[in-house]
Amino acid sequence: MNQESKHEHHQLDRSQNKALKSLKEKLNSMYVNKQVSMWGIPLTMTSNEKSDVILLKFLKAKEFRVQDSYNMLVKCLSWRKDFGVDSIVGQDLGFKELEGVVSYFNGFDKEGHPIWWNNHYGIFRNKKIYKKFLGDDKELQKFIRWKIQVLERGILKMLDFSPGGVNSFTEVYDATGLPLKEYVFLSKHMLPLFNDYYPGIVDFKMIINARWFTRKFMFSIFNPFMINTKKGGCVVCKEENVVETLYRYISPEYVPIQYGGMRQPDELNNSPAKAATEFIVQGEEKFIIPVEGIKAGEKITWDVVVGGWDLKYRALFVPDAASKSYDHVVEKRKMLAMPELVSNSYVAKEAGKLVLTINNTASQKKKLGAYRFLVQKTNSTEAEVTRVLEQLKAEARKGTGRGLDLHQGKSETERSYDLQTSPSHQD
Q: CATH code at 32?
A: 1.10.8.20
Do 216 and 282 sit in the same domain of this protein?
no
Whether residue 20 is contained in a domain is answered as yes
Q: Give the end of a domain, one of 33, 62, 83.
A: 83
Instruction: Tell me what percent of the residues of the chain surpass a pLDDT of 70.
Output: 76
End-to-end CA distance of the chain: 44
Torsion of CA 363, 246, 226, 55, to 10 degrees: -170
Do 300 and 231 sit in the same domain of this protein?
no
Whole-number Å distance between alpha carbons of 147 and 194: 10
pLDDT digits (tens, 9 = 90+) for 138-180: 888 888 899 999 999 999 999 999 998 999 999 999 988 776 6
Do 91 and 73 sit in the same domain of this protein?
no
What residue numbers bound the domain in which 57 lies? 3-83
* pLDDT recorded at residue 97: 83
Do 228 and 115 sit in the same domain of this protein?
yes
Q: Give the end of a domain, one of 83, 110, 135.
A: 83
Number of neighbouring beta carbons within 10 Å of residue 64: 21
Banded pLDDT at 76 (limits 50, 70, 90): very high
Do 231 and 301 sit in the same domain of this protein?
no
Q: CATH code at 222?
A: 3.40.525.10
Tell me if residue 335 falls in helix, strand or coil: strand
Do 400 and 255 sit in the same domain of this protein?
no
User: Are the C-beta atoms of residues 108 and 255 closer than 8 Å to each other?
Assistant: no
DSSP states of 260-290 as a string?
TSSB-GGGTT-PPPPP-EEEEE-TT-EEEEE
Query: In what order do the strands lie in the sheet containing 286-294?
Result: 286-294, 352-359, 311-319, 327-335, 420-421
The mean pLDDT of the chain is: 83
* pLDDT recorded at residue 415: 35
Query: Among positive and negative, which fits the CA dihedral 159, 94, 183, 82?
Result: negative
Instruction: Tell me what percent of the residues of the chain surpass a pLDDT of 90.
Output: 57
Whether residue 426 is contained in a domain is answered as no
Report which listed range, 118-127, 222-231, 387-396, is most confident. Answer: 118-127
Banded pLDDT at 289 (limits 50, 70, 90): very high
Do 393 and 312 sit in the same domain of this protein?
yes
* pLDDT recorded at residue 33: 87
User: Are the C-beta atoms of residues 232 and 226 closer than 8 Å to each other?
Assistant: yes
Beta strands, E only, 25-175: 37-38, 41-42, 103-108, 114-119, 169-174
Whether residue 261 is contained in a domain is answered as yes
* pLDDT recorded at residue 127: 73
Do 295 and 417 sit in the same domain of this protein?
yes
Whole-number Å distance between alpha carbons of 309 and 348: 28
What is the DSSP-derived secondary structure letter of residue 188?
I
Question: What is the tally of structural domains in the chain?
Answer: 3
Do 376 and 247 sit in the same domain of this protein?
no
Whether residue 272 is contained in a domain is answered as no
Q: CATH code at 283?
A: 2.60.120.680
Whether residue 414 is contained in a domain is answered as yes
Pairing type for strands 234-236 and 202-208 reads: parallel
* pLDDT recorded at residue 409: 43
Do 121 and 251 sit in the same domain of this protein?
yes
Q: Give the end of a domain, one of 54, 83, 112.
A: 83
Do 40 and 126 sit in the same domain of this protein?
no
User: Are the C-beta atoms of residues 142 and 189 closer than 8 Å to each other?
Assistant: no
